[in-house]
Structure 1
Amino acid sequence: MTRRTVRIAMNGVTGRMGYRQHLVRSLLAIREEGGLELEDGTILWPEPVLVGRRAPALRAIAERHGLEHWTTDLDAALADPSVEIYFDAQVTAARAAALRRAVAAGKHLYCEKPTAASLQAALEIARLAQDAGVRTGVVQDKIFLPGLRKLKRLVDGGFFGRILSVRGEFGYWVFEGDWQSAQRPSWNYRAEDGGGITMDMFPHWEYVLHELFGRITTVQALTATHLPQRWDEYGKPYAATADDAVYGVFQLDGGVVAQINSSWAVRVHRDELVEFQVDGEHGSAVAGLRDCRVQHRATTPKPVWNPDLPSTEPFRQQWQEVPGNGEFDNAFKAQWELFLRHVVLDEPWRWDLLAGARGVQLAELGLRSSAEGRRLDVPELTL
């Protein structure tokens, strides 16, 4: 049995997402399972090289997990010929410059979204990578979640018939930071630092809608900054200049209408932090992160509107749970495994930097739609 080591420069592992999902629950989880076994018996062994600005934090992570390699010198990591992949989970404002340096060093790229702070920069990096002949991948974790994989199974199996509409609700209350600490970094709420929920979440909704229901052709959005003041990690008040909520309406190829509300200023009254309801002629479904429930047209009740009497219909009980029919791995880990196979075996892959640029495009158009108060077309992107 041959072991093939794949060294990966991981920039941004001191942050919550880079550390928890990408390092611990993805690459280290693959190692704990003995590596990623290929069909010919070869074992792919991911070897992280931790990269960041804070040496004490990097050293602590390396010691905690028995890792040998870390550095605060990104250029040195990129100059190392044994490093094949550069991964980026930094703050958005720092990502584009680092990706350009990685392309220039000839590294394959895998990164979080948005891939850049502007569509122009996102397309520029995608073209640079294409010209350099490196493989690229953008994290699109939501489509690998159990709930959405069950929903995709329903779509592919023709459960809905003609799909009419999609309704999405995402969000939770992010504490202001004064009397309870905030669950998210303060830069998320400062536009000057690249914050804002539109740039954060619209790239997610682009690939979710695109993968499950069709390409987005128009967008109309309204953004809001519901909480204009917050407190940072040191208890200091600051002006929240970025949008903390966005309400979007999207038209898709084929006429499907999607509405998705995203907010960090909403209290949760649903089963999961994100839920999508899909309505079709033959049936409907409600999918969250893990669960998915359906109601076929043959079992749909016939409610009658009568506000003078209390409702006696147990509406939630009239839906049927969709079985898993298998084990679902961590969504981030599942995509990492596919990307590693893409790099080593050249297996088909469609979640590249152009797909990432579509997310940036939708976010930019959403912000512009809100500023101008009108619906905008979403042109199809090419390199």
Structure 2
Amino acid sequence: MTTHTIGIIMNGVTGRMGTNQHLIRSILAIRNQGGVQLANGDTIMPDPILVGRQAHKLQALAQKHGVEKWSTDLSACLADSNYSIYFDAQTTNRRAASIKQAIAAGKHIYCEKPTADSLEQSLELARLAREAGVKNGVVQDKLFLPGLLKLKRLVDSGYFGRILSVRMEFGYWVFEGDWQAGQRPSWNYRKEDGGGIIVDMFAHWRYVLDNLFGEVKSVSCLGTTHIPQRVDERGERYACTADDAAYATFLLENGIIVQANSSWAVRVDRDDLLTIQVDGTEGSAVAGLRDCKVQHRVNTPKPVWNPDIPNPFRFTQQWQEVPDNQVFENGFKEQWELFLKHVVDDEIPFQWDLLEGAKGTQMAELGLQSWAERRWIDVPALQL
């Protein structure tokens, strides 16, 4: 039995998502469980080095979680042959340049999305990685959520019959930062810093729709900035230049119509921060992050519109829960394990590469174009 020690340069993990999901709940969790096991009995053990621009943050993070190595010198880390994977969780406007540098150094690439500020840059990264022969992957975390895995199980089983429509509701109230601190960083609301809910969330919606229901063929989108001013981390008021809500309709290749509302200015009256309702000829389902409930045609109530009497139905009580039937790991960790296996073993595929990531960037650009031009936009196929 062999242990494959894989050095990973982790750039930008001092942020909330990078720290919690990628460092603590993925890489350190994998180390604590004794690595990733291959079918032949071999073990993959990740060996991270934390990289960033602020030494004090890196040092504090490393000490808190028992990580031995950290550095502010990305070039030196990329030149070190002990590290074969470069991971990027920086803000979007810094990502492309660092990934290019890592590809040039011969590193395998794993990164957050969006992969770049523009479709042109995202396609360039995919092309450079292919030409360099390095393995590459993009985080597609929502595909690994328990609720969406249950939803995928229903789709694959044919439970819905012919799927008619999908309705997605995402968002929550992000405080403005004056009388309560905002729970998202201020750059999210500045377009010049790569912010905006369309750029952030349409990359997610693209891979969710493509992988669960069918390829997106056209989009109509209306964005807006509901909250014009917020207060940043220093207590200073600033103008919000990026969209904080988007109301979109997607048409899929198989005729399925998808309505997707995304907002950081909405108060939640639903089961989860993200809910996806699927309606088909044979049945319906509503999935959240972890749970999924169904209603088959034989269990569907028969309401009649009558505003003159109290509603006799308790609609939310007329659904059945889909059982877990398996142990669900952290979705970020599961995808990390798949990518590590892919790096070590050429026979193990990894389908969510930089070209798939470019589709997310494309979706965001087309959403912004649709908003600007007030029209439907077709989604062209991407080629390198």
Same fold at TM > 0.5:
yes
Per-residue Cα deviation, 1:293-335 (whole angstroms, up to 9, x for no partner) = 0000111111101111110101111100000101000000000
Measured in 1, the distance between the counterparts of 2:130 and 2:317 equals 51
Offset at 1:141? 0.3
2:51 equivalent in structure 1: 51
Offset at 1:25? 0.2
1:257 equivalent in structure 2: 257
Measured in 1, the distance between the counterparts of 2:124 and 2:200 equals 20
Offset at 1:241? 0.4
- The one-letter amino acid paired with 1:177 is G
Measured in 2, the distance between the counterparts of 1:15 and 1:365 equals 28
Per-residue Cα deviation, 1:165-199 (whole angstroms, up to 9, x for no partner) = 00000000000001100001100000011100000
Say which SS state the counterpart of residue 201 (structure 1) adopts. Answer: helix
1:310 equivalent in structure 2: 310
- The one-letter amino acid paired with 1:168 is M
Offset at 1:159? 0.1
Measured in 1, the distance between the counterparts of 2:381 and 2:313 equals 45
1:350 equivalent in structure 2: 351
Offset at 1:71? 0.4
Offset at 1:2? 2.4
Count of equivalent residues: 383
Measured in 1, the distance between the counterparts of 2:125 and 2:280 equals 39
Per-residue Cα deviation, 1:94-117 (whole angstroms, up to 9, x for no partner) = 000001001100100000000000
Measured in 1, the distance between the counterparts of 2:382 and 2:66 equals 43
TM-score, normalization: structure 2? 0.99
Say which SS state the counterpart of residue 41 (structure 2) adopts. Answer: coil
2:113 equivalent in structure 1: 113
- The one-letter amino acid paired with 2:308 is D
Measured in 1, the distance between the counterparts of 2:66 and 2:166 equals 45
The 10-residue stretch of structure 1 (266-275 or 63-72) with the greater mean CA deviation from structure 2? 63-72
Say which SS state the counterpart of residue 9 (structure 1) adopts. Answer: strand
- The one-letter amino acid paired with 2:298 is A
Per-residue Cα deviation, 1:75-102 (whole angstroms, up to 9, x for no partner) = 1111111110000000000000001001
Per-residue Cα deviation, 1:268-297 (whole angstroms, up to 9, x for no partner) = 001100000000000000000000000001
1:365 equivalent in structure 2: 366
Measured in 2, the distance between the counterparts of 1:130 and 1:2 equals 29
Matching of residues 176-215 of structure 1 within 5 Å? 176-215=176-215
1:67 equivalent in structure 2: 67
Offset at 1:61? 1.3
Structure 1 residue runs of 4+, over 2 Å off?
none
Per-residue Cα deviation, 1:12-37 (whole angstroms, up to 9, x for no partner) = 11100111000000010011111111
Say which SS state the counterpart of residue 234 (structure 2) adopts. Answer: coil
Gaps of 5+ in 1: none
2:4 equivalent in structure 1: 4
Say which SS state the counterpart of residue 290 (structure 1) adopts. Answer: coil
Tell whether 2:130 aligns with 1:130: yes
- The one-letter amino acid paired with 2:344 is V
Matching of residues 280-295 of structure 1 within 5 Å? 280-295=280-295
Say which SS state the counterpart of residue 238 (structure 2) adopts. Answer: strand
Gaps of 5+ in 2: none
Offset at 1:248? 0.6
1:330 equivalent in structure 2: 330
CA root-mean-square deviation: 0.6
